[in-house]
Amino acid sequence: MAVSALKTVFCLALMTLLVLPTQACFGPKLYLGLPATTRGAVLAELAALYVKEKTGVESILVPLEDHDPVAEVLAGRLDLVVVTVADQRLPDLLAVADVPALLSGPRPLEELQFTTVGPALHKLAGLLDVTTFAALVDDVEAGEPPKARVRRLLMERGWI
């Protein structure tokens, strides 16, 4: 009788675990500061999705709210941050004229698990131009979700 009850409890527990959604937490993650501007949000989504597709490194987008983006990176709370104007204290990993800057802290540049991130962003900088970026921003301002619009661009152009 006790063995039968244990079997039942075990089977119910196993079935519950199989039904519950699971979330994988594999691989390295970068924390990318997300500004409140449309241009900043588009660039953050573009960089995050391109890096994820090309390197497997996931970026967690962190809203900046009222925090100083450069100070957040210098304090080690963020790895990357999108800003309107580049800051001399941090390198710009996506230097494209008339596009917000993507500043980097030390982790993406120094840690072994992120060695492919810099070259991927350098490649993206070579692909992206001001006209393409402006069209993305216009579409997002017209109501298209940034992530969906960025994915569509990357797939249409064959960049991912």
Q: E-assigned strands of 6-151?
A: 29-34, 58-63, 80-83, 101-104
Task: Specify the pLDDT at position 19.
Answer: 57
Distance CA(78)–CA(62), nearest Å, equals 8
Q: What is the pLDDT of residues 71-130, one digit of tens each?
A: 999 999 999 999 988 889 999 988 888 889 999 999 999 999 999 999 999 999 999 999
Look up the CATH number of the domain holding residue 88.
Answer: 3.40.190.10
What is the domain count for the chain?
1
Task: Note whether 49 and 160 are within 8 A (CB).
Answer: yes
Question: Considering the domain boundaries, does residue 24 fall inside one?
Answer: no
Distant-in-sequence contacts of 83-88, Cβ < 8 A, 24+ apart: 83/35, 83/40, 84/35, 84/37, 84/39, 84/40
Question: Considering the domain boundaries, does residue 5 fall inside one?
Answer: no
Question: Considering the domain boundaries, does residue 117 fall inside one?
Answer: yes
The answer on pLDDT for 48 being more than 60 is: yes
Task: Specify the pLDDT at position 106.
Answer: 94
* Structure tokens, 50: 């391109």
Q: What is the pLDDT of residues 61-86, one digit of tens each?
A: 999 988 999 999 999 999 999 998 88
pLDDT interval class at 153 (50, 70, 90):
very high
The answer on pLDDT for 20 being more than 60 is: no
Task: Note whether 84 and 90 are within 8 A (CB).
Answer: no
Question: Considering the domain boundaries, does residue 1 fall inside one?
Answer: no
pLDDT interval class at 154 (50, 70, 90):
very high
Question: Considering the domain boundaries, does residue 22 fall inside one?
Answer: no
Give the domain extent around 109: 29-156
The answer on pLDDT for 17 being more than 60 is: no
Distance CA(68)–CA(144), nearest Å, equals 28
Question: Considering the domain boundaries, does residue 12 fall inside one?
Answer: no
Question: Considering the domain boundaries, does residue 83 fall inside one?
Answer: yes
The answer on pLDDT for 60 being more than 90 is: yes
The answer on pLDDT for 24 being more than 70 is: no
Question: Considering the domain boundaries, does residue 78 fall inside one?
Answer: yes
Task: Specify the pLDDT at position 21.
Answer: 52
Task: Note whether 42 and 146 are within 8 A (CB).
Answer: yes
